[in-house]
Every structure is written in C-alpha cells, then in structure tokens.
A = this chain, B = another copy of it.
Amino acid sequence: MSNSPTDPGSARGGRPTSSDVAQRAGVSRTAVSFAYNDPAKISTATRDRIMAAADELGYTPDPLARMLKHRKTGTLGLLLPQDIAQVMQNPYYAQFITGIGHVCEREGMTLLLCPPLRNSMLKAIPYAAVDGFIVTGLEADRGEVAELRRRKIPFVLVDSEPVTDVPSVEADDDKGGYDLVRHILELGHTRIAFLIFESGPDQPNLGYRGPLKRRFAGAERALAEQDLSLTSAGVVTVEAPCTRSGGYTATLDLMAGQAPPTAIVAFSDIMAVGALDALKSLNLPVPAAVSVVGYDDQPEAEWTQPRLTTIRQPIEAKGRLAGDFLVAAIRGESQHPRQLLHGALVVRDSSGQAPPT
C-alpha cells in the first residue's frame, strides 16, 4: 500500500524477508536474526516487537538461505537406479526405505528421493540438496562413485561391489544363492530353471552386477557339489522383467519346452508369485510336479498358495544400517565401516521332493 515500486526490501509480490521485518520493527536485520536464533542476545521488549512485525508481514526464515549459510540441509538423499514410480512398485524398496525412515526419525531429517535425470544417475547428483547419499542399484561403470568423491559428499554404497574407503552395506547373496540351490538339490531336483530379473549380456553368469552376480556365484557353488553347473543339461537361465506378469510369462514358456524343469528358482519373490500363477493355470501342482522358490521373503511370500519357500533378507535392517553409516559419515565420525548382513532360508510349502522321473 505505502510501498513505492522502487522500494527494494518491501514485499514486491514475493515473500517478505528479514529486511522487511527489520524495517517494520525499526531495528537492524541482525536483530531479527537474533530474535529467531539467539533470543538471549536481545531484550525481550524488542524481541516481542520483532516477532509482532514478523507476524503481521507473514515472515518466515527462508530454509534455503539457512541451509546455504549453515552448510547443512538436514536431508538424506537416496539415489535410485530407476524412476520413483518403478521403484515404489517394488516392495523391496518400500521395506528398504522403511529402514532409512527409522534413522530419519531419530535424527529429525527428511529423505529426498533422487531418481535418475534423463536416464542417468550421475546427472541427478548435482541437483540434489542433501547432506549425503545412500546409493543403491549402482550401475557397473562406477562413474557415480567418482563423481561423489569429486564432490566430497558423504555417501554409502548398498548392495554394490566393494569399493575401498567407502562405507557400505551388503547382504550375503552368495550364501543365499548357495542355500537356495542346495535346498533344491537336496530334494533331488536336477532339471532346474533360474528365473532372474533385469536384462544383461546373453552369457549367463557373466557381466551380471551386484547381488545377482553373487547369488549366481553361490548357486554355482552348490551346483558344483553335485557335479552340475549353470551350463549343464537341464539347467537353464531365463531373464524377465521383475514383475508378477514377467514371472508368469517366462514360466509358461519354460513349461512348454522339451524337458521342462521340476524346480524354478526365482531370484525375486514377486517373480516366484508369477511362476505360481502360471503353474496353476497349467494345472501343475506345486510342489508335487514343480517346486518354486523365491528370494527376499517379502510379505507376499506368506500369502501365496502354497506358501513360498524363499530366502529371508533383512531388507529393513539394510536400510537402517545404511542410514546409520551415512549419518556417521556426515558427522565425520566415519571409519568406513563395511557391514555384511545375513539372510536365511525359510522353507515353506512351495518346495518339495522332485517327482519320480
């Protein structure tokens, strides 16, 4: 109303600043800052006057400016390998984020979901205002690690290949793969199909990254004990999208083949559920005709008919540890810890003795 258009500090359409409040209360901008951050440094009378002025103008300190000054954002960044929509459809991530959430609650921090920018995780890094990153589903090339190092931003790797001097959280996927396949072999199966997620090079067990690679390594160890390998007759590997329908379609294809498997090892519960769907539609009893096992022990595993044998993985603990490590790294307390989490075979009803030949 009384603002001349050239008046610089006044609310010219935008939000009021501390200068506006200072002017209105007849004090310096510093006094306004003190009123908010260090009330002891100012008389209660002027403090009240300042607060009243702030209230009338609708002033509120700008979070960005504070962050810039303090060099602290109060947010953890979660660097994702896929778009948010894809990630959230995967129950794995819901559990993982739950774990991080516990840390956020304890520390009073927020969580920023950072999907790739123009299909690149690397490009997403420079645009995130965070105190540090939790990096998950890292691509093989590792440009991201170099970039994060360049930037001197604290970060934690999850389910990635080990990198020196970087805190990391891993699961014993090798042992998981081993336990799962050994369980199947002990039941007498010899015609085994591996149902795996994501696309990779066409040579199995070569070029797979992260957890998948390690699960395969464990599987191969178990197979070797029975003088089998991933390339033995009867052992096949099929790739499909990590969805229920992906597992469904792949299983239909498998069972239509020459010598269909008697055991399907899915490296994801959700794909295993799809496999169960397919076998049901083919009227093949599980586990009498075909055994099915999954991985992760997500809640679905207990609801299927029959209930799913799987590897329980402490996903939530993984998130929590990653959060703890990151917070420690941000505080500079980090000793570059590396934690290996253990899974366990959960035998339910979907795996049984191989049918007589």
Chain A residues at the B interface, C-beta cutoff of 8 Å: 14-15, 58, 60-65, 67-68, 73-75, 83-89, 91, 94-95, 97-102, 104-105, 108, 110-115, 117-118, 124, 126-129, 150-152, 273, 300, 303-305
Given A151-B15, A303-B303, residue A115 in contact with residue B104 (CB < 8 A): yes
Q: Are A58 and B128 in contact (CB under 8 A)?
A: no
Q: Are A64 and B63 in contact (CB under 8 A)?
A: no
User: A60 — which chain B residues lie within 8 A by C-beta?
Assistant: 126, 150-151
Q: Are B75 and A101 in contact (CB under 8 A)?
A: no
| Known interface pairs A64-B67, A108-B117; 8 further A-B residue pairs with C-beta atoms within 8 A, sorted by A's residue number | A60-B126, A75-B129, A83-B105, A84-B98, A88-B97, A105-B115, A110-B114, A112-B112
18 A-B interface contacts by CB (under 8 A): A58-B151, A58-B152, A60-B150, A60-B151, A62-B68, A63-B127, A64-B64, A84-B111, A85-B98, A85-B99, A86-B101, A87-B101, A88-B95, A108-B117, A110-B112, A112-B113, A303-B303, A303-B304
Q: Are A118 and B113 in contact (CB under 8 A)?
A: no
Residue of B84, B98, B104, B110 near A97 (CB, 8 A) is: B84
Residue of B95, B98, B126 near A61 (CB, 8 A) is: B126
User: A303 — which chain B residues lie within 8 A by C-beta?
Assistant: 273, 300, 303-304
User: A113 — which chain B residues lie within 8 A by C-beta?
Assistant: 104, 110-113
Q: Are B104 and A84 in contact (CB under 8 A)?
A: yes
- How far is it, in angstroms, between the C-alpha of A89 and the C-alpha of B104 when the chains are bound? 15
Given A304-B303, A305-B305, residue A94 in contact with residue B104 (CB < 8 A): no
User: A127 — which chain B residues lie within 8 A by C-beta?
Assistant: 63, 74, 110
- How far is it, in angstroms, between the C-alpha of A86 and the C-alpha of B95 when the chains are bound? 10
Identical chains bound together, number:
2
A303 to chain B, nearest CB (A): 5
Residue of B73, B75, B101 near A85 (CB, 8 A) is: B101
- How far is it, in angstroms, between the C-alpha of A151 and the C-alpha of B62 when the chains are bound? 9
User: A67 — which chain B residues lie within 8 A by C-beta?
Assistant: 64, 129
A118 to chain B, nearest CB (A): 7
Given A64-B68, A65-B68, residue A101 in contact with residue B129 (CB < 8 A): no
A70: nearest residue on chain B (CB-CB)? B64
A315 to chain B, nearest CB (A): 11
User: A94 — which chain B residues lie within 8 A by C-beta?
Assistant: 88-89, 91, 94
User: A85 — which chain B residues lie within 8 A by C-beta?
Assistant: 98-99, 101-102, 105
A331 to chain B, nearest CB (A): 15
Of A64, A86, A105, most buried by chain B (CB within 10 Å of CB) is A64
User: A101 — which chain B residues lie within 8 A by C-beta?
Assistant: 83-88, 115
Of A60, A74, A101, most buried by chain B (CB within 10 Å of CB) is A101
Given A68-B68, A88-B98, residue A63 in contact with residue B111 (CB < 8 A): no
User: A88 — which chain B residues lie within 8 A by C-beta?
Assistant: 94-95, 97-98, 101
